[in-house]
Structure 1
């Protein structure tokens, strides 16, 4: 089995290094091989150079859409192994995964789960963005949560393909994929609050309807 981590990025020269360092720490603790694919989408800065210097695979696109970028990254990642032997993990260039994140993905995949939906936490002071934090916490409970984030998502490659993959949308491509997977017969979906991903609390994001949009609303 192999885990491929897809990271879409548009002009994330300042954040991609920390993102990839966190992924490297997580990969070192993962019991299966890990490949990281950074999709530099319409980048005019040094995002691709920073990613290459970190030793990861870089795919360049001109789509200008996070959904299309994620889709291109997965397409590149799926070359080389049977779908049954691949798990796709997704995060964002302005996010940092915890050290046990990929190990968790490997265990979930081995258990037979087809789609893993994780949660996020904001960086910065816990006293900032209190309204968002309160609303977000209200969507979490002991048995799971209601959130869907491209910054913390994993899917079995064969199920990803059966669901039609990430749609090439400017936003909410993660939610659409999750809905499509849920519609598949016998698909197993796990909404887990374990190992949340630390994501940026900036107010100006790259996706038109992402966390930054919610924080600035």
Structure 2
């Protein structure tokens, strides 16, 4: 059974979206405490190469929202490195055996649903080593062509896709496969591929889509923003 949850959130110039991200995490943590009483949960925020007001936003949020959180400030300009640093620091503070610690990953431009953590732990306690969650962009920020390409407003990304905005992994598996690689993108898919190769049980997180930014130019060269941008390259006839 999982005894501790480490939530790791990298952020790079996300002062505008950080408040809603942290409010959503606070709600999900409260839900987890009700569904899994006794499980310890903590947030680690990694502010990477920020040039905006993210530090001030987080300082205010930690006073009012998340008392069980800490902030790391780094200058690595790499989401893979930022996630890795955050996970390493979070695991240093755990007291349980690694196979009883769960690492929940999301992004600073995203809002997790209330049941996001609870559903991950239900799967972990049933034997899952990795959970893959779906994401849903802010559809009102997409152009009509991209909305049509994405699908209906109720549709999230296909189950089984890998998104750093909704990725859970058992700490023992994370350590066994070497953790996140220090790369600028695709650190999430590389981690999951390594876990699969190691024989980890990878399952889809049914429901619980994470709402994320619909920006077309992301903080990484490709990633989800690049995918959304590419949706506009197809004519509507092909999309339909």
With normalisation by structure 1, the TM-score equals 0.91
For residue 120 of structure 2, the aligned residue among 102, 105, 108 is 105
Question: 2:128 & 2:75 partners in 1: Cα distance?
Answer: 33
Question: 2:59 & 2:182 partners in 1: Cα distance?
Answer: 25
Indicate the residue corresponding to 1:159 in structure 2. 173
**What do you get for the CA RMSD once the two structures are aligned?**
1.9
State the 4+ residue runs in structure 1 displaced beyond 6 angstroms. none
Deviations 1:117-144 (A, max 9, x none): 111001133874235414xx6973xxxx
Are residue 171 (structure 1) and residue 178 (structure 2) matched?
A: no
Question: 1:72 & 1:49 partners in 2: Cα distance?
Answer: 21
Deviations 1:8-39 (A, max 9, x none): 10011111111000000000010222211110
Indicate the residue corresponding to 2:196 in structure 1. 182
Q: In the TM superposition, what are the counterparts of 1:29-68 in structure 2 within 5 Å?
A: 29-30=31-32, 31=36, 32-55=39-62, 56-68=69-81
Of the structure 1 ranges 206-215 and 61-70, higher mean CA displacement relative to structure 2 is found in 206-215
Shift of 1:193: 3.4
The alignment partner of 1:7 has SS state of strand
Question: 1:76 & 1:51 partners in 2: Cα distance?
Answer: 18
Please say if residues 87 and 157 of structure 1, whose CA atoms lie closer than 8 Å, have aligned partners that are also in contact: yes
Deviations 1:161-196 (A, max 9, x none): 0011010110000000000000113x1110233201
Question: 2:149 & 2:98 partners in 1: Cα distance?
Answer: 38
Q: In the TM superposition, what are the counterparts of 1:71-90 in structure 2 within 5 Å?
A: 71-80=84-93, 81=95, 82-90=97-105
Stretches of structure 2 that go unaligned for 5 or more consecutive residues are 63-68, 231-240
Question: 2:177 & 2:150 partners in 1: Cα distance?
Answer: 31
Q: In the TM superposition, what are the counterparts of 1:16-27 in structure 2 within 5 Å?
A: 16-27=18-29
Indicate the residue corresponding to 1:70 in structure 2. 83
Shift of 1:51: 1.8
Stretches of structure 1 that go unaligned for 5 or more consecutive residues are none
Give the count of matched residue pairs.
211
Please say if residues 132 and 215 of structure 1, whose CA atoms lie closer than 8 Å, have aligned partners that are also in contact: no
Please say if residues 29 and 41 of structure 2, whose CA atoms lie closer than 8 Å, have aligned partners that are also in contact: yes
Structure with the higher helix share, 1 or 2: 2
The alignment partner of 1:151 has SS state of helix
Question: 1:78 & 1:193 partners in 2: Cα distance?
Answer: 27
Shift of 1:83: 1.5
Deviations 1:64-109 (A, max 9, x none): 0000000000001001323123100000000000011111122122
